[in-house]
Structure 1
Amino acid sequence: MNIISYIHPIRTYLPCTGAGRHINNTLLGLNSRKSIDLELFCSKQWLQADGKLDPRSPLREIPLKTFPLQENLTERLWKLTQFPKMDGYVAVNTDWLFAPMETYIPVSRCPVAITIYDIQVFETDLPWSHTRQNRWSRYKWSQWIYQSLAKHQVIFTISEFSKQRMIELLGADERKIVVVGCGVEQPFNDIAAIDPTKLERPTEAPYALVIGGLRLKKGADFVIGAAKELLNHRSDLQIVVAGDSEAEYVAAAQELPNIKLLGIVPDRDLPRLLRCASSLLFLSYYEGFGIPAIEAMVVGTPVVASNRASLPEVVDTAGVIVNPENSASVADALIQLQENSQLRTAYIQRGYEHSAQYTWSNCVDRITTAFHTFA
């Protein structure tokens, strides 16, 4: 099978977001399959002096084809005018043009598959739904997403939640939306066998780990509330935060002795930080999937997650699902997982069993199956 994949190279640079990791791992997985001939496709602006992508991209060694125009200009033209057609860059024997990201590509020579991770810009009841920035993003997405849903043969997404929201909010055809899920990188599996007492810890006290920083979208208000409730319980449990935080929440955290902000940490440190934690605290308002929940389960760390968006689906009964607005119940769950060894062991075992289904290989299998089914 011959596949050409359109990408935004900058999204693949390490360290990257969850979407970037999905792009990297699915394309690396496709490239490793003997039955697939994969070629990347992007703007010439991303080429380095050696004719390859930046060394920060794990996709650097995959064969690459480019077009001469700037990426932003080209995509605006595609989305607003459905021009210029890209057929001249697609070989006659190409079976699929695959974009592991959100876009519209005008091609008639072969079928097109794109990936839409979530459609939070179209949600109406989130704290940021009616901000000027979100209204502008919704307007821009509206210029192309409906034609992508109508004209492209396959729409990949990462959870049943995201699929249903596309159907409910955008009127998408459920028959062409394929849920492929997400996976976990090998370092998380590797560290699961290491005794956490042998690893370097960010604090001597027991701690719950927050990944993604203290940000509104990641439920920072809920995390602050949980920290205050832990203080009321005189718990020695700390909350350690990995990731960039918004200024107002940095100020709030600095007033609480049980919150430790690590800032942005290298990807290589996340497995260790998770392995040493008594739990993962994941109180996001909105996630298209929520990879940290599965990563925590893989390393043997129980999960406390909010009952919002995709998280109940992804965590299922393998973690503790809470109403993030109820700080008392969040704090109680954290304390129980720290102090009740029997409960903790039960959730660790559930996590191991549940997370086993989430691999990048399974994700690639679902993608290739869809290519054969919809061809």
Structure 2
Amino acid sequence: MKVILNVESLEPPVTGIGRYTSEILAGLLARGFGDDLHCFSHFRWVDLKRVIHASDEQPGESRIRPLLRSLPYAYEMRLLARNAVFRRSARKIRGAVYHEPNFILKSFDGPCLVNCHDLSHMHFPQHHPPERVRYLDRNLEKSLRRADRIVTLSDFVRREVIETFAFDPAAVVTIPVGVDARFRPYDADETRAVMDRHGLRHGRYILSVATIEPRKNLHGLLRAFMRLPADLRTEFPLVLCGATGWRESQMEQSLAALAREGGVRRLGYIPEADLPVLYAGAGAFAFPSFYEGFGLPPLEAMASGTPVLASNTGSIHEVVGRAGLLVDPHDDDALAAGLERILTDQELRRSCIAAGIERARGFGWTSCVDRTISLYEELQAATS
């Protein structure tokens, strides 16, 4: 069986969709799909070895991208050109199933599977670049209707897709993602090298892993952190990991000022090799996002034995359940109180750690990949 996989999301900095695509790709290769797997990225078909190592690369600074974004309809024109290249070259790959992990299907005559990760552009358009919202408004529903199957990562998003677009429930399938075995508890000796490299102390910092963009509500997290008692802020500095996203120059200015005071550390984009250790070395993990279609970072933190404070909105409850402390992300006082509890209430911490490790065991990439391949087989059989 031939598979076409769009791997554009693996270009650094790799975010949630890129992590998902990377795991699907690795799973396909582990199951012997190498000779029948065709990976497309931007305007070309790419070598699998290059794709596999792409997420390990550090993101480069682009001076051209901000300029292109400022031009009228440059975003849409680039995507149209990319689609034309794909349509023309994909015709040569006969009998393939096309998997699009990133919302919008390119033109393809064969069976297609598309991921719809969330509908945040509809609920929170102010949290996205206008050109992206405009493009999704024009093309998402058409893309979903062209797909033979729509895959969501949570039942929350599945219900939203079915209700918003009046789809047949049988066409929309929930396949939760998993957590890699690298995310596990590490003791202080195991984390020492990474802690020293970043100037951190094992068990003595609050970690947040998220792209620095409005939807992640890091402004609210900063305000909540500054409401903690001064001695607690000194003992547990806030450490933010993630690439800078859209419209966050104000956040960067705030972070720079707080960093000078010593209470907040901005580590930027972190290589994949360091992430498991940073999770396991944290005293607590905070994820106050306004909206998520799944929420992989809280799951990875739970698997790492780190107590989690997260939002009570979107799909987060589906992921975290009762294994973490869930609060209203719009309430700074609730966020601050939750942070203080998760840091100081030892009984709560022990409960969250044990329950989090146990809950994370229920999410596996093996199941995710196997169920995805079953959909490929189902779609190919239906068109044979």
TM-score band by shorter chain is 0.7 to 0.9
2:207 alignment counterpart:
209
* TM-score normalised by L of structure 1: 0.81
Note the C-alpha offset of 1:181: 1.5
2:139 alignment counterpart:
144
Matching of residue 248 in structure 1 with residue 255 in structure 2: no
Alignment of 1:75-94 (within 5 A): 76=80, 84=87, 88-92=91-95, 94=96
Q: Counterparts of 1:138 and 1:51 in 2: how far apart (Å)?
A: 31
Q: Counterparts of 1:118 and 1:156 in 2: how far apart (Å)?
A: 11
Q: Counterparts of 1:361 and 1:295 in 2: how far apart (Å)?
A: 16
Alignment of 1:176-325 (within 5 A): 176-189=171-184, 192=185, 194-196=186-188, 198-200=190-192, 201=195, 202-204=199-201, 206-212=204-210, 214-231=212-229, 236-245=235-244, 246-253=248-255, 254-255=257-258, 257-325=262-330
Helix, strand or coil: the match of 1:144? helix
Alignment of 1:3-18 (within 5 A): 3-9=2-8, 11-13=9-11, 16-18=14-16
The change in CA–CA distance for 1:206 and 1:122 in structure 2 (over 3 A counts) is same
Which residue type is aligned with residue 90 of structure 1? Answer: I
Gap runs ≥5 in structure 1? 60-71
Which residue type is aligned with residue 191 of structure 2? Answer: L
Note the C-alpha offset of 1:276: 1.2
Deviations 1:86-121 (A, max 9, x none): 7732324x4x2222322223333x321112222211
Q: Counterparts of 2:314 and 2:44 in 1: how far apart (Å)?
A: 35
Which residue type is aligned with residue 209 of structure 1? Answer: L
Contact 1:78-1:106 within 8 A present in 2 as well: no
Deviations 1:280-326 (A, max 9, x none): 10011222211111110111001100122221221111111011233
2:336 alignment counterpart:
331
Helix, strand or coil: the match of 1:287? coil
Alignment of 1:93-104 (within 5 A): 94=96, 96-104=97-105
Which residue type is aligned with residue 238 of structure 2? Answer: I
Q: Which has the higher contact order (CA 8 A, sep 6+)?
A: 2
Q: Counterparts of 2:346 and 2:315 in 1: how far apart (Å)?
A: 28
Q: Counterparts of 1:185 and 1:15 in 2: how far apart (Å)?
A: 19
Q: Counterparts of 1:44 and 1:282 in 2: how far apart (Å)?
A: 31
Contact 1:237-1:335 within 8 A present in 2 as well: no
Contact 2:205-2:284 within 8 A present in 1 as well: yes
Contact 2:38-2:45 within 8 A present in 1 as well: no
Q: Counterparts of 2:271 and 2:41 in 1: how far apart (Å)?
A: 28
1:114 alignment counterpart:
114
Q: Counterparts of 1:264 and 1:74 in 2: how far apart (Å)?
A: 26
Deviations 1:14-71 (A, max 9, x none): 55111111111112212322589632142695467x8974673379xxxxxxxxxxxx
The change in CA–CA distance for 1:368 and 1:198 in structure 2 (over 3 A counts) is closer
Helix, strand or coil: the match of 2:355? helix
Helix, strand or coil: the match of 2:239? strand
Helix, strand or coil: the match of 1:358? coil
Note the C-alpha offset of 1:239: 1.2
Q: Counterparts of 2:171 and 2:364 in 1: how far apart (Å)?
A: 23
2:59 alignment counterpart:
none
Helix, strand or coil: the match of 2:310? strand
Of residues 327, 333, 347, the one that matches 1:342 is: 347
Q: Counterparts of 1:152 and 1:73 in 2: how far apart (Å)?
A: 23
1:64 alignment counterpart:
none
2:40 alignment counterpart:
42
2:60 alignment counterpart:
none
Note the C-alpha offset of 1:233: 7.7
Contact 2:14-2:55 within 8 A present in 1 as well: no
Contact 1:3-1:36 within 8 A present in 2 as well: no
Contact 2:114-2:151 within 8 A present in 1 as well: yes
Q: Counterparts of 1:78 and 1:121 in 2: how far apart (Å)?
A: 22
Contact 1:213-1:241 within 8 A present in 2 as well: no
The change in CA–CA distance for 1:287 and 1:315 in structure 2 (over 3 A counts) is same
Contact 1:46-1:53 within 8 A present in 2 as well: no
Q: Counterparts of 1:112 and 1:285 in 2: how far apart (Å)?
A: 31
Note the C-alpha offset of 1:73: 6.7
1:57 alignment counterpart:
54
Q: Which runs of 4+ in 1 moved over 6 A?
A: none
1:369 alignment counterpart:
374
Deviations 1:132-162 (A, max 9, x none): x33x323312333222222221111211222
Instruction: Considering fraction of residues, name the structure with more helix.
Output: 2
The change in CA–CA distance for 1:84 and 1:370 in structure 2 (over 3 A counts) is closer
Note the C-alpha offset of 1:267: 1.9
Aligned-pair identity (%): 25
2:68 alignment counterpart:
none
Q: Counterparts of 1:13 and 1:138 in 2: how far apart (Å)?
A: 21
Helix, strand or coil: the match of 2:36? strand
Contact 2:39-2:45 within 8 A present in 1 as well: no
